[in-house]
Amino acid sequence: MLKISVLASGRGSNFQSIIDAVKSGRLNAVISLLITDNPEAFAIQRAGDNGISHLVLQPKQFGSKDGYYQSIADELKKRGVDLVVLAGFMRIIGKPLIDAFPNRIMNIHPALLPSFPGLHGQKQARDYGVKISGCTVHFVDAGMDTGPVIIQAAVPVRDDDTEETLSERILKFEHKIYPEAIRLFAEGRLEVAGRRVRIKDSPPDDQGLTSPSLG
């Protein structure tokens, strides 16, 4: 069974969607640990409510960024973690953790990468005037939201959208595609070749794009 660790900094709504997928049986995995850099994160309560252990690890406890991420990597390896899942972890992942878990760290971003990386992807999309935005699950590399794309969901941008209304519409699809990407990983169906992620045993027209009705 796939053993997951989640890194989160805030409320952890994507963390909850993964918990729900495990509890429902849709995802054959166990969440072994939550690591947070924020002792006030609501994700801690979600972990406690579901019997999941947590650790608060903050960079100021360590001598350097590399030391911080090496400590996280050591904790995860000690627990036999197979996949690291970022659920609103508000830091750029350091090299020691990436090197310890190559193509085994996932992130979700509230835009259709490579468009609008970084903070406030929803606001960037709205301000730019695009008609379609969405969300992306990708593997993490050393860049900011630059790793190979696993799944994307397309979401319409309406003329009267605010950052908040667009964010809420996108979030509903984040909660769908993140557990799905983890399920594909658990089933051994993700094959990474350079920048491309192939979903094995899927039809050619179903390679990781989900689109709601535009009505």
**72 vs 10: CA distance, rounded Å:** 18
Alpha helix positions (H), 25-140: 42-49, 65-78, 95-100, 121-128
Q: Give CA angle at 70 (39, 99), nearest 5°.
A: 125
Contact between 38 and 68 under an 8 Å Cβ cutoff? The reply is no
Helix (H, G, I), strand (E, B) or coil at 164: helix
Candidates 109, 120, 138, 175; catalytic one: 109
Beta strand spans in 52-210 (E): 54-56, 83-86, 105-109, 132-139, 149-156, 190-193, 196-199, 209-210
In the residue annotation, 109 being an active-site residue is answered as: yes
What is the DSSP code (8-state) at residue 94? P
Catalytic residues: 109
